[in-house]
């Protein structure tokens, strides 16, 4: 199905007008009438800053707190979307702007009708701006006021990302939630570098916001734009950035530049500093975090959304996170353990296979091992989020969290 979106100049008494032809579904949209993402704050924990809420997008609702599996190049590695939806219970996934821009390329995604049509995922998608990937390729990138030039890690070709270009690319990808283009400051950056980096991110944000507001969605559903707080590990910079980001009055806000080498306690401190300032009635997204313990600590401090490659990446290397602790499935101790992979697990793989069999698959380097471990870990992360939400609603999140922190950190 092809979509041709037209800006409506005179049709302000209807939300949209659809004209059907044999070749096109022509959708005429008014920027002023497109339904925006909403966030309902439903419960707050009486003894912490933990919250439970609900985000509504045109591709469905998201119950928070939520973990978002990472689908870097339009797939969550080793996991079918049917498993993501029906077994893991994922409500939203991530796509990576940098990787999708390079492969399959924006032209292909536009021909497909956007990423949802291209990969078959019909629930919400969030795309990062590509900033983290551009800046992690430090040897290949150059930074200036205009944006960042970099060379592709695939073929060495040269490219330029600007705040405006990052918006255009994400419009074409068709993400429900689009992220601002920012510089992800290293966790060990000195104060002067962190300050200059933050100020550049803010200037880029003004440009990105202006361009987002001047452009339209391409596929007949709404998109929203989240700015990102930076400032490294310096409380005054984090406060300054949080105030600037809050002043933009977007539908949600993100905290970036954490879990990039700074001590864990510093990360928690920065979350507290920032969340004192970010508005309570907007979702807060902690980017690229983290371990199960990190997630619970983030929730206690008022974070609503998380993403990280850890459950899939660590899973592919034999590490399983469970409600009883951490297992290394390559260890000799599982060689003749014929009990289920995780007797308390929520996924079908936890009960369909044994620890001994899963260890055998890893030792034999069978691809099925990567699938089982990835599915298990993602299901555990989503279960942990739903349990946290339940205990926020009940009002006993803090004691539940204390017990869980002890259990999930154990080495089995």
Tell me the C-alpha distance between 172 and 280, whole Å. Answer: 31
Alpha carbon distances (Å) from 191 to 2, 138, 172? 50, 19, 37
Tell me the C-alpha distance between 204 and 183, whole Å. Answer: 9
Nearest to 79 by CA among 294, 361, 340, 311: 311
What tokens does 265 get?
Answer: 């306690």
- Backbone torsions φ then ψ of 406, nearest 5 degrees: -70, -45
Other Cβ atoms closer than 10 A to 398 = 15
Tell me the C-alpha distance between 347 and 247, whole Å. Answer: 42
Indicate the pairing of strand 38-44 with strand 51-57. Answer: antiparallel
- Backbone torsions φ then ψ of 289, nearest 5 degrees: -125, 135
Residue 226, SS3 per DSSP: strand
What tokens does 155 get?
Answer: 């073929």
Nearest to 130 by CA among 93, 80, 94: 94
- Backbone torsions φ then ψ of 379, nearest 5 degrees: -60, -40
Could you say which of 87, 182, 304, 307 is catalytic? 307
Active site residue 307: yes
Active site residue 128: yes
DSSP conformation letters of 163-202: HHHHHHHHHHHT-SEEEPP-----TT--HHHHHHHHHHHH
Could you say which of 128, 304, 342, 350 is catalytic? 128
Catalytic machinery residues: 128, 307
């Amino acid at each position: 199905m092809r979509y041709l979106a037209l800006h409506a100049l005179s049709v302000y008494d209807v939300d949209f007008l659809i004209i059907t032809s044999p070749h096109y579904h022509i959708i005429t949209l008014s920027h002023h009438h497109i339904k925006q993402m909403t966030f309902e704050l439903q419960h707050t924990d009486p003894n912490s800053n933990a919250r439970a809420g609900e985000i509504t997008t045109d591709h469905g609702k998201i119950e928070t707190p939520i973990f978002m599996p990472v689908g870097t190049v339009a797939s969550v590695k080793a996991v079918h979307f049917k498993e993501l939806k029906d077994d893991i219970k994922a409500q939203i996934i991530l796509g990576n702007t940098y990787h999708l821009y390079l492969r399959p390329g924006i032209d292909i995604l536009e021909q497909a009708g956007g990423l949802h049509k291209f990969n078959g995922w019909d629930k919400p998608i969030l795309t990062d701006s590509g900033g983290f990937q551009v800046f992690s390729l430090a040897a290949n990138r150059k930074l200036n006021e205009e944006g960042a030039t970099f060379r592709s890690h695939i073929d060495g070709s040269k490219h330029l990302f600007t705040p405006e270009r990052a918006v255009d690319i994400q419009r074409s990808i068709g993400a429900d939630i689009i992220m601002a283009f920012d510089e992800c400051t290293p966790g060990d950056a000195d104060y002067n570098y962190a300050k200059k980096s933050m100020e550049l991110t803010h200037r880029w944000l003004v440009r990105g916001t202006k361009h987002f507001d001047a452009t339209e969605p391409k596929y007949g559903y709404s998109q929203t734009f989240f700015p990102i707080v930076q400032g490294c590990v310096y409380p005054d910079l984090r406060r300054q950035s949080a105030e600037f980001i809050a002043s933009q009055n977007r539908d949600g806000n993100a905290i970036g530049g954490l879990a990039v080498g700074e001590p864990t306690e510093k990360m928690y401190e920065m979350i507290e500093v920032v969340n004192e300032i970010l508005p309570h009635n907007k979702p807060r997204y902690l980017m690229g975090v983290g371990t199960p313990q990190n997630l619970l600590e983030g929730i206690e401090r008022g974070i609503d959304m998380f993403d990280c490659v850890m459950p899939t990446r660590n899973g592919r290397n034999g590490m399983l996170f469970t409600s009883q602790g951490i297992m290394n499935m390559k260890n000799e101790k599982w060689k003749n353990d014929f009990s289920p992979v995780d007797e308390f697990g929520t996924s079908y793989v936890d009960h369909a296979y044994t620890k001994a069999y899963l260890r055998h698959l890893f030792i034999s380097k069978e691809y099925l091992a990567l699938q089982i471990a990835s599915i298990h870990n993602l299901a555990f992360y989503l279960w942990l989020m739903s349990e946290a939400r339940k205990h926020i609603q009940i009002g006993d999140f803090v004691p539940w969290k204390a017990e869980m922190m002890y259990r999930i950190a154990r080495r089995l």
